[in-house]
Structure 1
Amino acid sequence: MTLAGRIALIALIILCSAIAPARASVAEAPGENLDISLITYGPGDIYWERFGHDAIELRDTVSGEEIDFNYGVFNFDEKNFFFNFARGRMHYLIDAEVTTDEESFYQQAGRSITKQKLALTPQQAAALRDFLFWNLRPENAVYNYDYYVDNCTTRVRDALDRALGGAIKARLTQSPGGMTYRQQTNRLMSAQPWLMLILDLGLGPYADQPLNAWQESFLPEELQKSLRNVAVPDGHGGTQPLVQNEARLSPNRLDVPPVAAPDLRIPLGIAGLIFAALIAIASRRARLAFALLSSLYLILAGLVGIVMLILWTLTAHHSAWANANLLLFNPLAFLLVRTTWRAHHYITPSRLANGALMVQLIALLVALLAHLLPGVVQQNQPWILFALPIWLALAWSLRQTTRA
């Protein structure tokens, strides 16, 4: 072995010797020597980082050693990863890291780090520690990830709530949430408008249900805020705040997400009117352009409809089920593509095409009337405002073109 190799080996042994006691001391420390903290990391730049992240920190007050436990690890190299992702059966797992290593990564990325020290009794701290180490075992580490109800933050929340005997859930289920799943998603994804629009289009009524604070704490930021309002017994017959103190360990150096979700009605409504006007004008002055524009819209509408049907019937993405946008974009659109080219040559639409167009116009009317009925949950007005003028322009243009 070369001198450089020996030095590297010695350094590795020293490093392993330094890390091993950290895990061992935290694992073996009595509950009265354990400090429990919630570590919240701000949103990142990459789309899968936009929701933020968090971890539970266990600190041995005697040795000073700290370990972060987080539930946000996934592996692109896992067998059938992308197929499982498409089916809504993503596999995530818990991991543990030395706190300084974990925090160094987020500091370098420019993401904020906030630490909330929590008031757990020695018995609760020991029980939480034992649960987390049990969860680290290979047979227990993997779980089926869900964006809204079973993610890296809800797992942290549930572990803390379990140790506290349900105190967090009891408090947060009594408080209303501030936004819906759709609003939070649009707010946090607004830095990538194209992705925000795709997600908004694909979300069904599940994403618009009213939330309480417990449900909304699927987000690290919301869990961090909500814990400030939780009180626990102080051991003397009274109560004390669960959050004993809160400190910002590292500032945010990235763009901050807006406090409210963007209103998509005006921009999508304007986009729909512009596209409709282009179709109407082209039908009178440039028939080839009319056929191209109409075909583009119809093919995209049909493809979007197929994807939404697949998400509803063949996947576990329950937030996309029963999507009312299927009334606006669906495979019936494919039946009209040939008709736009026939109209280019002044050929009358077939009975099948006329029937498909009539069904689509009725579907539009149903989509509009649905918002006047009680109990309608899905908030898809922006997409109605986008699709309605385009479908009306298509219907009018086909009628005028074949009359000419």
Structure 2
Amino acid sequence: MRPILRIFLSLTVLLACVMPHAHASVANAPGANLEVALVTYGPGDVYWERFGHDALELRDTVSGEAVNFNYGVFDFNEKNFFLNFARGRMHYLMDAEPTGDEEGYYVQVGRSITRQRLALTPAQAAALRDFLFWNLRPENAGYNYDYYVDNCTTRVRDALDKALGGIIKAHLAAQAGGMSYRQQTDRLMSAQPWLMLLLDLGLGPYADQPMNAWSESFLPYELQANLRRIRVPDGHGGTQPLVQDEQLLSPNRLSVPPAQAPDLRRPLGAAGLAFALLLVATARRARRVHALLATLYLIAAGLAGLLLLVLWTLTSHHSAWANANLLLFSPLAFLLLRTSWRARRGLAPTRFANGVVVLQLLAALAAVLLHLLPGTVQQNQPWILFALPVWLALAWSLRQAAPPASFAGAASARG
């Protein structure tokens, strides 16, 4: 998806619908002359390109004119773009561009291009063309983007399904999907580990719901693969493949995402255990180091909890709502910052701090029990394995803050 707003080109294509032509073009060619193809572009290096992209190509077989229609245009310069993005109100646009110009960009940046010619009847091809040109009008081109259920690929999928009378949805909705939204996100973002971890932390139970092949076709590569299995009427009482032929127009020159999502349980569990052991080891022998480590964790946990709470209550990011990780990373952590530095001087926690610690441990226990309940949707085992040993180590180390010298002093007095 390229952040380039090409309104003038869109208007030019629209004018093609109403201006007289000396020769046929995509805008006014009869359906029998229209060739329809799905063009799929491989993932790019930039984070917003990791999911890939696609477009519908309409080609007039008489004049040779070919136009790509895609739904992936956004503008960083739009007023309040980043604020709207943070609030989950992303504005995207449909666009159209000559096929040669569109594909030239992807060849230049090294992203693969695959073209699937589709078996649409003349009436279906004409109906798809008419819908795409209607959708291209300025009053219809914009839409509210959702990265899972309403994006540049689901719009392409839905346009094809509409032209084919619902065949695609009927076929794919009956097939189980291979991964969840979370797994696909982790897989595709694994080239940027820190961003992948932040996204995984922020995804709630919505991202773990079972998917069918229709919903999993929110990704360009999944839609491309799923269309290969669909058959449509051939007009003679039989059926034929929807994908008539498939061509790799340009190979991929970038790193390819892994086929499976990484299993985060082992690395996050090991990191949590190692941090917990470090807290225990420094609790008495290196209290300044312990205070620094505890402060670092408490600030990170508090900020994470605050972010999760904001995503749930103040944004439209429904995939982040009701996130059980709030039980593990809570703004309550901020209330223990002073206690961690008091422990450095051998001062025991206050009654209030003890209450906060108990409350946080109960919340962590609730996260574990919630995950073990039958029918639990959210798959947050990696974050439980990370946070639970750290909270236990913090609770233990804070209880060790009372200086043992007081007991030695009492024994001397008795002597």
Q: Structure 1 length as normaliser, TM-score?
A: 0.94
1:309 is the counterpart of 2:314: no
**Post-superposition offset of 1:344:** 1.1
**Post-superposition offset of 1:371:** 2.3
SS in 2 for 1:57: strand
Q: How does 1:2-21 map to 2 (within 5 A)?
A: none
SS in 2 for 1:371: helix
- Residue 401 of structure 1 corresponds to 401
Q: How does 1:92-131 map to 2 (within 5 A)?
A: 92-131=92-131
C-alpha spacing 1:123/1:290, structure 2 compared with 1 (3 Å): same
2-side partners of 1:371 and 1:77: how far apart? Answer: 42
Q: Supply the AA of the counterpart residue of 2:238.
A: G
- Residue 9 of structure 1 corresponds to none
- Residue 73 of structure 1 corresponds to 73
1-side partners of 2:266 and 2:112: how far apart? Answer: 33
Is the 2:24–2:63 contact (alpha carbons within 8 Å) kept by the matching residues of 1? no
1:362 is the counterpart of 2:371: no
**Structure 1: unaligned runs, 5 residues or longer:** 1-15
Is the 1:22–1:66 contact (alpha carbons within 8 Å) kept by the matching residues of 2? no
2-side partners of 1:23 and 1:91: how far apart? Answer: 36
Deviations 1:336-387 (A, max 9, x none): 1111111111222112111111011111111112222111000000011111
**Post-superposition offset of 1:285:** 1.0
Deviations 1:22-52 (A, max 9, x none): 9971100000000000000000111100000
2-side partners of 1:235 and 1:24: how far apart? Answer: 26
- Residue 63 of structure 1 corresponds to 63
2-side partners of 1:356 and 1:229: how far apart? Answer: 56
Q: Supply the AA of the counterpart residue of 2:145.
A: Y
C-alpha spacing 1:397/1:161, structure 2 compared with 1 (3 Å): same
- Residue 137 of structure 1 corresponds to 137
1:214 is the counterpart of 2:214: yes
Deviations 1:219-261 (A, max 9, x none): 0000000001111111111111111111111111111100000
Q: How does 1:183-332 map to 2 (within 5 A)?
A: 183-332=183-332
2-side partners of 1:173 and 1:159: how far apart? Answer: 16
Is the 2:305–2:330 contact (alpha carbons within 8 Å) kept by the matching residues of 1? yes
2-side partners of 1:382 and 1:117: how far apart? Answer: 43
Q: Supply the AA of the counterpart residue of 1:287.
A: R
**Post-superposition offset of 1:328:** 0.3
**Post-superposition offset of 1:402:** 2.2
1-side partners of 2:333 and 2:53: how far apart? Answer: 41
**Post-superposition offset of 1:403:** 5.0
Is the 1:55–1:70 contact (alpha carbons within 8 Å) kept by the matching residues of 2? yes
SS in 2 for 1:28: coil
- Residue 180 of structure 2 corresponds to 180
**Structure 2: unaligned runs, 5 residues or longer:** 1-11, 405-415
Q: Structure 2 length as normaliser, TM-score?
A: 0.91
Tell me whether 272-281 or 313-322 shows the greater mean CA deviation.
Answer: 272-281
SS in 1 for 2:363: helix
2-side partners of 1:326 and 1:375: how far apart? Answer: 19
C-alpha spacing 1:23/1:96, structure 2 compared with 1 (3 Å): farther
- Residue 12 of structure 1 corresponds to none
2-side partners of 1:279 and 1:141: how far apart? Answer: 55
Q: Between Structure 1 and Structure 2, how many residues are aligned?
A: 388
1-side partners of 2:243 and 2:23: how far apart? Answer: 25
1-side partners of 2:128 and 2:276: how far apart? Answer: 59
SS in 2 for 1:263: coil
Q: How does 1:343-358 map to 2 (within 5 A)?
A: 343-358=343-358
2-side partners of 1:223 and 1:78: how far apart? Answer: 30
SS in 2 for 1:27: coil
2-side partners of 1:377 and 1:218: how far apart? Answer: 20
Identical amino acids, percent of aligned pairs: 74
Q: Supply the AA of the counterpart residue of 2:168.
A: I
SS in 1 for 2:246: strand
Q: Supply the AA of the counterpart residue of 1:123.
A: A
Tell me whether 97-106 or 232-241 shows the greater mean CA deviation.
Answer: 232-241
Q: Supply the AA of the counterpart residue of 1:331.
A: P
2-side partners of 1:49 and 1:402: how far apart? Answer: 54
1-side partners of 2:324 and 2:152: how far apart? Answer: 29
Q: Supply the AA of the counterpart residue of 1:364.
A: A
- Residue 10 of structure 1 corresponds to none
Q: How does 1:331-342 map to 2 (within 5 A)?
A: 331-342=331-342
1:380 is the counterpart of 2:380: yes
Tell me whether 188-197 or 337-346 shows the greater mean CA deviation.
Answer: 337-346
Is the 2:347–2:403 contact (alpha carbons within 8 Å) kept by the matching residues of 1? no
What do you get for the CA RMSD once the two structures are aligned? 1.6
